[in-house]
Amino acid sequence: MTVNYATPSPSQLQPVAGVRLGVAEAGIRKANRRDLTLIELAAGSRVAGVFTQNRFCAAPVQVCQQHLVGHDIRALLINTGIANAGTGEPGLAAARATCSAVAALMNLADRQVLPFSTGVIMEALPLKRIVAGLPACQAALRSDGQGWFDAAHAIMTTDTVAKAASQRVVIGGKNVNVTGIAKGAGMIKPNMATMLGFVATDAAVSQALLGRMVQQTAEASFNCISVDGDTSTNDSFILIATGAAGNSEIADELSDDYEALRDAVTTVAATLAQAIVRDGEGATKFIEIVVQGGADSAECKAVGYAIAHSPLVKTAFFASDPNLGRILAAIGNAAQAHASLQDLDVRTVRLWLGDTLVSEYGGRAASYHETDGVKAMSPAEIRIRVDLGRGEAQAKVWTCDLSYDYVKINADYRS
Amino acid sequence: MTVNYATPSPSQLQPVAGVRLGVAEAGIRKANRRDLTLIELAAGSRVAGVFTQNRFCAAPVQVCQQHLVGHDIRALLINTGIANAGTGEPGLAAARATCSAVAALMNLADRQVLPFSTGVIMEALPLKRIVAGLPACQAALRSDGQGWFDAAHAIMTTDTVAKAASQRVVIGGKNVNVTGIAKGAGMIKPNMATMLGFVATDAAVSQALLGRMVQQTAEASFNCISVDGDTSTNDSFILIATGAAGNSEIADELSDDYEALRDAVTTVAATLAQAIVRDGEGATKFIEIVVQGGADSAECKAVGYAIAHSPLVKTAFFASDPNLGRILAAIGNAAQAHASLQDLDVRTVRLWLGDTLVSEYGGRAASYHETDGVKAMSPAEIRIRVDLGRGEAQAKVWTCDLSYDYVKINADYRS
């Protein structure tokens, strides 16, 4: 599934019963900018998350992981401007202090609050200004689509468009809403780093299955995207289930209800993830890479990422140059990142660009003509398909091209 | 060791007794261009090599690996213009046919010839033109520095400077020469892909130790460099020992003679490797990354490569922007490529830019001021030092920055 993306209007964003959102200008790094977002969850809500694997993970990520152990989360606080990463022990203390301030304001325990930060690395969190901004956030709390719309804007850093999406689905005879927001991915927005994604549903789901669902849906959405191969210190994806829809709690992973909800959450998360790639720094093209015929999905994904991470492949797409040897070389390199591919027999590999068979038997396909390659590389939406010819598994990766503007944005970023 | 680089003059390149080189214009891809190089080795010469790990390795690489099993190599043939990679079974047959043609001309067995190709991927080798060019190569064979100088130029593709280096060393009372040539590294020069390196000495070394030496010296030279993280289909590094210097054969890896020769070969190979990085596409800065305090050298190298491969780090160096969080994030990401780093405690990591301590205890060093960072990032030669604080091992990686011109060169390359 690939979708074109435009930010929905507030009325297109379904409210999620049990979730209220409020934003404020706290002056964290720039004036006249909504940079603080509070999300309030009704009692009984369940929360699960997946986080960056980066060893230099940010202080708020560490605090989130600790607080999620206790469950019973009732509030999320998100600041932009400062990432609170690479800040050592003082950074951890600051992240905990923001939780305490929210807890005091909302009559919660500290461990019921999850903190999130995105922005510049290695600079201290302006704790006083954040605490001072909290009452305005609380006063602004609202449950309608406008609340989600405002939050989608307030968590942006160098994103050029706000990212939000909604789905409706019937589960156990009840109407269920799924709504989510996200901001710029991985190291797409390097120093103002971070992919943040928040998806909420009013369905009732057991805590154990919500934990499964956040991993499965991340694997099919945010874990499919790459802009430049870097993983930020702050990446977080949070899935919330308030249970307010009144369906009987989903507790069986093999049930139709679980599948229906997981599919709706996946659609929202994949839409957000693709919106992030489409908004990648300097991106002029959206590229879907489908890798099939692998021994398992992990090796398919490794091949997809090897293609997506290759600067040579990405610059060729920017130039609409069917320099297909670069894709073959990237496939051949995947073995260095993924041991199971060390016995990959390139004679079984086939490569398509759009519908055009480009390579088979380790060389150029007899039917391939370069004019077809040029035609296939010109659109703004491109599909690469690789068949490894050694199994039944598949995976997909979404990425963008590498343009002059990527260098410009990243070389000039802090100025 | 880092060295500035300028192509030596022919008189600065020591001849290696037992080696003759000849070049010719074969018109492989462009007219009026020396594109074919023949290297003749005296009887009794020993040859060892290391090759790309890319699973789409080129036909000549496969033939080299087969022919090296038999030893007794007497000739090397190198063509530019066409890489003979991604060419399937016909490509293998073409590579073998070039060996047969050289063997017929020089009265050798096919298996005594090693073929090398560099250039465009997925196009067929123009066998007739190569065979037709061989007599001119043979007629041009010469053993002096001019022969090496001409060969250094003839193996260039989009390199902007020819790369050659020489060392002299006394071994067992005999004067020994070590001379080498190389061309554009890894996927620096993407489609005209390929790092090729050829280093020869007139020292006598046992076949077993020559095999050790080529691996050790590659590890300290060509395996330390990265321009864009891609590995080409054709990368090859060949070490030749003719034995003509008359020293008693080096057969003990712990001997002073072995160490002296290995050091001389390493100096030549490292000079060539650094010259390749300095000539990287669009490179404006040369960056040495030293990683120490690791549990083993492999994890140190993984950290070095994680930094060297990060487009965010590379664009920051291009801009002389001390955006040091990007380096911390790259260090934290190395765990994804190298499992032993998954228990890396970032609180023990220290980071220096030049002589300036930038980060410790997981955050910004108290003594660090951004003005020092700007100063440290401005020179054309930059040294990053990382201490992982968990062992005694170390490794180094050489790389360059990422500029507008990298995108320009790679987007426009085939036009």
Which among A221, A223, A314, A234 is positioned nearest to A265, based on CA atoms?
Answer: A221
Contact: A411, B324; criterion CB under 8 Å: no
Q: Report d(CA B222, CA A115) in Å as an integer.
A: 45
Best residue of A55, A402, A415 to probe chain B, by most B CBs closer than 10 Å: A55
Residues of chain A in contact with residue B413, where contact means CB-CB under 8 angstroms, are 321, 323
Chain B residue numbers with beta carbons less than 8 Å from the beta carbon of A374 are none
Instruction: Convert A93-128 into a string of H (helix), E (strand) and C (coil).
Output: HHHHHHHHHHHHHHCCCHHHEEEEEEEECCCCCCHH
Is the Cβ–Cβ distance between B336 and A255 less than 8 Å? no
CB contact under 8 A, B53 and A336: yes
B13 to A273, B142, B153, B276: CA distances (angstroms): 56, 13, 13, 18
Which residue numbers in chain A have pLDDT < 50? 1-2, 186-193, 413-415
The contacts of residue B93 (CB under 8 Å, 6+ apart) are: none
From the candidates B235, B343, B410, B413, which should be mutated to test the interface with A, based on the most A CB atoms within 10 A? B410
**Distance (Å) from the C-alpha of residue B373 to the closest C-alpha of chain A?**
13
Q: Which of A122, A341, A386 to mutate to test the interface with B (most CBs of B within 10 A)?
A: A122
Residues with Cβ within 8 Å of residue B190, at least 6 apart in sequence: A312, A323, A326, B230, B232, B410, B413
Search chain B and give the residue with CA nearest A190: B312
Task: Indicate yes or no: CB of B328 within 8 angstroms of CB of A191.
Answer: no
Pairing of strands B381-387, B350-353: antiparallel
Helix axes B207-219, B256-278, angle to 10 degrees: 40
CB contact under 8 A, B86 and A333: no
Q: Are B361 and A88 within 8 A, CB to CB?
A: yes
CB contacts < 8 A (A, B): 245
pLDDT, one tens digit per residue, over A343-383 is 999 999 999 999 999 999 999 999 999 888 888 888 888 99
The domain limits of chain A are 10-278, 286-412
Look up the ipTM and state it: 0.76
The CATH class given to the B286-412 domain equals alpha beta
Contact in structure between A377 and A352 (CB atoms under 8 Å): no
Question: Residue B200 and residue B21: Cα distance in Å, rounded?
Answer: 12
Q: Model confidence over A284-296: pLDDT tens digits?
A: 888 899 999 999 9
Is residue A12 within 8 A of residue A166, CB to CB? The reply is yes
The whole-number pLDDT of residue A186 equals 42
Catalytic residues of A: 194
List, run by run, the mean pLDDT of 10-residue segments along chain B (415 residues): 74 97 96 95 97 88 95 96 92 98 98 94 93 98 98 91 96 96 63 77 98 94 74 87 97 96 97 88 84 95 89 79 82 86 93 93 90 86 95 92 68 49
Residues 6+ apart with CB under 8 A from A215: A50
Mean pLDDT, chain A, whole residue set = 90
Q: What's the rounded Cα separation, in Å, for the pair A123 and A327?
A: 39
pTM of the model: 0.82
From the options 3.40.50.720, 3.40.50.1980, 3.60.70.12, 1.10.3720.10, give the CATH code of B10-278: 3.60.70.12
A87, A402, A414: residue with CB nearest B321: A414
Is B194 tagged catalytic? yes
Q: Residue A190 and residue B323: Cβ atoms within 8 Å? A: yes
Coil, strand, or helix at residue B358? strand
| Residue of chain A with shortest Cα separation from B311 | A228
Cα separations in angstroms, B250 against B204, B208, B263, B392 = 6, 10, 14, 30
Per DSSP, helices labelled H in A245-382 are 256-278, 297-309, 311-318, 325-337, 370-377
Q: How far is CA A243 from CA A46, A177, A218, A250, B254, in A?
A: 8, 11, 21, 10, 71
Rounded Cα gap, residues A38 and A53, in angstroms: 25
Sign of the Cα pseudo-torsion (A260, A265, A268, A272, in order): negative
Going by their DSSP bridges, the two strands A196-201 and A236-241 should be labelled as parallel
**Which candidate, B228, B137, B150, places its Cα nearest to that of A333?**
B228
Contact A326 B83 (CB under 8 A): no
